[in-house]
Structure 1
Amino acid sequence: MSEDFRDKIIKKSEEIAKSLGLELFEINITGPKRKKNIEITIDHPKESVSIEMCEKFSREIEPWFDSIDIPFKSYNLIVSSPGIDRALRGLKDYKRFKNRLAKFILSERIENRTVFIGHIKDADEERVIVHERDSKKDFEIPINTIKKANLEIDL
């Protein structure tokens, strides 16, 4: 599959998402040559993505897929949300999810650890401050050491 086709999907998905007050989070195209899964993950800037939002996005993009030349025999279109344990991808997300519980996996050790789970207290271009519930301590995590981060379910 060509990058050109993927770029077309991204462009159209961003256009439709914007028209619906949503954001494109991610696109994955998987599966064998003849039958692909086109997974489009959408997000809402201020609230959780509902099933209705996914359905509306799907209804908007399906006619477009039917009107273009697709480089494989058939496909399944899957539209979803990032989920409650969504990936956090940078400063924008760290600020957006301030006060939410998150898990950070680091590429370097801080206090002899590479995993921190706590509430995001603050974030700037250089660091994220995480308040760990168990130790009741704040930790400064340099942004350039974050290998992976995601929201956790806060019970």
Structure 2
Amino acid sequence: MKDNFNVETKVADLLNPTLKAMGYRLVRVRMAGSQNKTMQVMAERVDEVNMTVEDCALISREVSNILDVANPVEDAYSLEISSPGIDRPLVCPSDYDRYSGFDAKIEMVNTINGRKRFKGQLLGMKNNLVRICIEEGTAELPFEDIRRAKLTLSDEMFMVATKSAEG
């Protein structure tokens, strides 16, 4: 697991400058599988227009070239390029402000107030704390203690995604 984290970080560092220059933002890199490894590269357009198959193909060609030269993974792997989708992961602090008002699931590394999982409406970031409205009120979660977080599909999220897909 730690080896995957090191590879993911190294690959992200390799890809970020090129993707940024191409007009994309790297959302995350994830290595999956133990025998048949897959490197998942998730990216989005910085202009916030929905990704197309052509975008993924363009990114795939560039990423393949970079990884062929740098060779950051010793074992064989498949490369998978994708966009975040409606239930996108939340990976950087700006995501929590950008998607404030939308529903999300957050899993913590450490227990906070007797729980590790939180589901509710995002209220953004304040002082490096992710604020989320849950049934019991507002929870403030340290960003650095978040194991994983993602938006959850809701009617509002679906309407926003459908509207942006229509142009």
TM-score bucket of the superposed structures, by smaller chain: 0.5 to 0.7
TM-score by length of 2: 0.64
CA contact (8 A) 2:98 2:124 kept: no
> Comparing both structures, which one devotes a greater share of its residues to helix?
2
Does residue 108 (structure 1) correspond to residue 112 (structure 2)? The answer is yes
Q: Unaligned 5+ residue runs, structure 1?
A: none
Does residue 129 (structure 1) correspond to residue 134 (structure 2)? The answer is no
- Partners of 2:66 and 2:147 lie apart in 1 by 36
C-alpha displacement of 1:85: 2.0
Provide the aligned C-alpha RMSD in A.
3.6
Tell me what 1:55 maps to: 57
Q: Kindly provide the amino acid, as one letter, of the partner of residue 96 in structure 1.
A: R
- Partners of 1:57 and 1:115 lie apart in 2 by 34
Per-residue Cα deviation, 1:74-122 (whole angstroms, up to 9, x for no partner): 442211123322222353221121111112335212xx66543222233
1:117 is paired with a residue whose SS is strand
Going from structure 1 to structure 2, the CA distance change for 1:148 and 1:28 (only over 3 Å counts) comes to closer
Tell me what 1:153 maps to: 153
C-alpha displacement of 1:60: 2.0
- Partners of 1:64 and 1:127 lie apart in 2 by 35
C-alpha displacement of 1:124: 0.9
Q: Unaligned 5+ residue runs, structure 2?
A: 156-167
Does residue 140 (structure 1) correspond to residue 139 (structure 2)? The answer is yes
Max Rg structure? 1
C-alpha displacement of 1:5: 10
Q: Kindly provide the amino acid, as one letter, of the partner of residue 142 in structure 2.
A: I
Q: Which moved more, 1:77-86 or 1:140-149?
A: 140-149
C-alpha displacement of 1:11: 3.6
C-alpha displacement of 1:31: 4.9
Q: Kindly provide the amino acid, as one letter, of the partner of residue 108 in structure 1.
A: I
- Count of residue pairs the alignment pairs up: 148
TM-score by length of 1: 0.68
